Amino acid sequence: MEGFLVLVLSSIAVIIISQLLKVLLNLVWRPYAITKWYRQQGIQGPKYQFMKGSIEEIRNLKSGARNVPMDINSHDFTPRTLPHYLKWISLYGRTFLFWFGSKPRICITDMELVKQVLSNKSGFYPKADAHPGMLALLGKGLVMINGPDWARHRRVVNPAFTIDKLKMMTRKMTGCAKSMIEGWENQIAQEKSKQIEIELNKQFLELTADVISHTAFGSSYMKGKEVFLAQKELQALAFASFLNVQIPGFQYLPTPNNRKGWCLDKKIRTTLMQIIHERMKSRKDEGYGKDLLGLMLETCMVGGKENDNNRMTMDEIIDECKTFFFGGHETTSHLLTWTMFLLSTNEDWQEKLNEEVLRECGMAVPNADMLSKLKLVNMVLLEALRIYGPVNIIFRKASQDMELGTIKLLKGTSIAIPFAILHRDKEIWGPDADKFNPLRFENGLSKAAKHPNALLSFSIGPRGCIGQNFAMLEAKAVIAMLLQRFSFSISPNYVHEPIDIITLQPKSGLQVIMRPIQA
């Protein structure tokens, strides 16, 4: 008996020691070896700190940067949102190594290298491992998954975003915008001054949520409202935990934040299942519809061998609904917000766009053909995406040891691509890179900068945003309808504080004075 007990205890001791050695290997020796590997190639960076990596320095720099004031005519928000990148670029050059916990990250700012990473079709640079908070927010949808699963999801979803489908969606987009505008007009009619101050960021979030509910899921904003509100809370939780040291398994512990996240996720899944069940009941005899939800349900519910390669499970459908509910309204709403900010502070461009809209659309509700003729509106939207793109930075990772230009990457190294910094690179965009100048897009995207793929707001390559044409069409429709009816200027109450809460947004909203244009 004693011999058996000694054997068990010694086995436990061996397991504990082997696990401790594994921890030491990953947290001490491995970072040392990786740092040495990259330094031999001339790639420097901040010193690795045990377990924390560079997180503490990032947290301190971002905390101090939140109070950096910005002039309303200044568009360079990177000292507020990416102060650590700016510091490290100044110290170590435009390619450097830093650490997120014990995980190495290489920052690249050379457009040719960026193009190689994003345009690769062989799967060498998949999406980096997702933060647990982002997985809770978006699920394992198109944005998060890799490999065959991504290809299968893309095949199913892609038909929902064809040009013909988008044209059909225009009427629903303009219908939602018309309801919002009529509400504003009713408010203005009751004011003696015939003008009102509106906080546009909140209004656009509700509008784009209404649009994605109608166009992709065949439901009203009220039905999807619980999803949007819960996702907003999850977004705040995810943002708050981004700079925490990630301890394996910690996301499964019943901490207050984890319990809150689980409760919100349950609410989202329950609401999405209600929307799905309603569709299944109403469409049983005539198919499930040709919008995004209908196409996904078709693959899940319809049998047959020819469908097996595209089949999606109900859990996968729910995750894609999460992705498109969030991505379909969050990014577009902020594009609208920043476009209105730029037009409110550049009234000469507001007048030019007003003339173009009235020339091409008159006072009619714009359709897809009219919107395709709005060249100046398109140029302003592209410039808004360049200066105030919804996403500041994205990450990929090396799937194996490989060479990227002259860099010999180790398998598992994350690659950081800071869009916001690249969009302000004067070597790429010229000496006026910090200025609002839509004319740079006068001859098209490929000729707007010294590199044809310089605008990265929707990413490029096979993993480029599947909904970019949807977002641009919706933004054009809304901006055109506003220009038909209103002139606007920035409110004295507006404070210019762009903040990165996963997506770039004004910290305290966008207050704008709206005045009706007299017929």
Q: Which residues are annotated as a binding site for heme?
A: 465
- Return the closest-CA partner of residue 349 out of 380, 387, 382: 380
- Return the closest-CA partner of residue 201 out of 342, 336, 387, 388: 336
CA distance 516 to 198: 13
Which residues contribute to the annotated binding site? 465
- Classify residue 114 as exposed, middle or buried by CB count within 10 Å of its CB (0-12, 13-18, 19+): buried
- Return the closest-CA partner of residue 106 out of 124, 128, 121: 128
- Classify residue 289 as exposed, middle or buried by CB count within 10 Å of its CB (0-12, 13-18, 19+): middle
Q: With the C-alpha atoms ordered 82, 129, 143, 318, is the resulting torsion angle positive or negative?
A: negative
What is the residue type of 43? I
Place of tokens 């919706």: 474
C-alpha distances (whole Å) from 333 to each of 75, 200, 206, 504 are 19, 9, 8, 11
Q: For the chain, how many residues are written? A: 519
Cα dihedral 102, 133, 139, 473 in deg (nearest 10): -110
Beta-bridged to residue 501, according to DSSP, are 503
CA distance 93 to 106: 12
C-alpha distances (whole Å) from 250 to each of 13, 246, 255, 335, 444 are 24, 7, 9, 35, 48
